[in-house]
Structure 1
């Protein structure tokens, strides 16, 4: 965790390392708030570092380390409210926002830092990959609220598809890693296991990257994280029309939640997704609540069911609810 510890002043670094000890694998976040104790969020509990409350100069130190003493080079990232560092760790920021004509131009006087620890959870996709495949992979949308493990699950799905599983051979996978979180590339080389047949376009906007990868790497499966804007949807449609299978994530509490968003109307009208993976908050990331087929039926086998018995519970909505968006 050297890439994280280098962000802190020396005294604070030593205190953090003592407090965390050997528990790095269960650490989810380090939240630093000026003039308040540091918060450590683990898988099962939250703890506080009270020995050394961060002062304003500690916040300046953190910001200088994040920007390598050049806030100008981070101007675009500051507009988004987060910075991605080596290893795919994301640092969220909060403070005073500067706007121009109603648009965010920058965040200054930063007083809160949320360091989200990126970790590979190998194996979490193993129990679900068979639901995403039938001779070829299904177009799949992973739905989850923040901190439910969307990116973690997406990363492991890439590993399984790009390496192969059971009697299924590996296929060519392309990742558009806009925020350098999925593969955690350093100088273009993935630091996480994303599959032996997987290629990465690192730090590239999704809207440009999808077609770039289709033209240059001829993938069979395209993986992107956190679609949300109209431009994302248009790029996704273009990729789908090129015959590539797409697996992507979106922020939301449920399928019904995202069906209400006007941005996604075109996706529902074209009925592009065959599978929806709905995540839930658990003590560990990537907890799957249900996997829905294109009709909204839950197809995940219940624990204790016979081998061929599936949970096809009656959905509370029809095919995408196009008429209700």
Structure 2
């Protein structure tokens, strides 16, 4: 059963406490339907509810932005802040002079159960899994729930390398929904650090499973390959509408078995044993044999996937 994880009300209340009173009155009643709040200096307050953007009659003033700043306690170098133990994200916009001109607040929600159809593979069959999908299709929501399921079995031997803090949230203490899995944050820019953090996770913390959100940089791809060759399971996401898009991305070739698109052959076995294509929220295509799927694509055939979801 797919449902909002217990505890959201408390996490939502923590976020509401950081808002100016008039903003809180405007948005609080929407509860879990509230998705995002945009506070831009001199503009009407804008907020998104169930995909629809609404506007208040009142404009945002400097004291409103300062109110949020003081209650958040400051922003990191990447201009983001989080609330401990939640998935909420608060990001600021600066002027050329370094003054705050706007704030975007994303209401974080832990949706539990979306990965349950994959439980037999994750728990019983095992193996590394590549998750492919375009933005805004629930890829990270799925990955977060995969961490939850793996942590039930492997406990603290699951390490989530949290590239943009989407898995465990921006706070120092990760969201309780992924416990007892451990979380390692990646400094900005991820292109310079993600591979190093994956290496540290494997070398220093003896994980059974490493979970990585958004691979595609040279070093992180190589570290995922190294992990799989050392017997560490890897679950990772990659951008792409479908599996063919991943095959046509040269940066990801090492984890796909180093395919040669000219001669239509693989030079080695993929780092991942299976792949999952996110079609839409709650709808997936599962490829239990990634090597065969890659071979089919190289030969111009559409690989057979198992449909999951409505």
Alignment of 1:281-292 (within 5 A): 281-282=280-281, 287-292=282-287
In the alignment, the residues of structure 1 paired with residue 132 and residue 163 of structure 2 have an alpha-carbon distance, to the nearest angstrom, of: 18
- What's the CA shift string for 1:5-55, capped at 9, x where partnerless? 3443232223322xxx1x422332223334433333234x41414132223
Q: How does 1:234-313 map to 2 (within 5 A)?
A: 234-268=222-256, 269=258, 270=268, 271-282=270-281, 287-293=282-288, 294=290, 295=293, 296-300=303-307
Q: Tell me how far apart the structure 2 counterparts of residues 302 and 50 of structure 1 sit (CA, whole Å).
A: 38
Residue 157 of structure 1: how far off its partner (Å)? 0.9
Deviation of 1:244 (Å)? 0.4
Count of equivalent residues: 270
Distance 1:92 1:253 in 2: 28
| Corresponding residue of 1:177 | 162
Higher relative helix content? 2
Deviation, 1:155, is 1.4
Give the alignment of 1:97-108 within 5 angstroms.
108=98
Tell me how large the CA RMSD over aligned residues is: 3.2
CA distance in 2 between counterparts of 1:145 and 1:3 reads 31
- Contact 2:216-2:251 within 8 A present in 1 as well: yes
CA–CA distance in structure 1, aligned partners of residues 217 and 69 of structure 2: 29
Q: Which residue pairs with 1:191 in the alignment? A: 175
After TM superposition, the score normalised by the length of structure 2 is 0.72
Q: 1:200 to 1:220 in 2, by over 3 A?
A: same
1:248 CA displacement:
1.4
State the partner residue of 1:153: 142
1:48 corresponds to: 54
1:89 is matched with: 88
2:132 corresponding residue in structure 1: 143
Deviation at 1:281, TM superposition (A): 4.2
Structure 1 residues 110 and 230: alpha-carbon distance in aligned structure 2, compared to 1, 3 A threshold? farther
Residue 28 (structure 2) pairs with residue 10 (structure 1): no
5+ residue gaps, structure 1, are: 99-106, 304-325
Report the TM-score when normalising by structure 1. Answer: 0.69
Q: Secondary structure at the match of 1:227?
A: coil
Partner of 2:263: none
Structure 2 spans left out of the alignment, 5+ residues: 1-11, 188-192, 259-267, 294-302
Please tell me whether the aligned partners of residues 90 and 181 of structure 1 are also in contact (alpha carbons under 8 angstroms). no
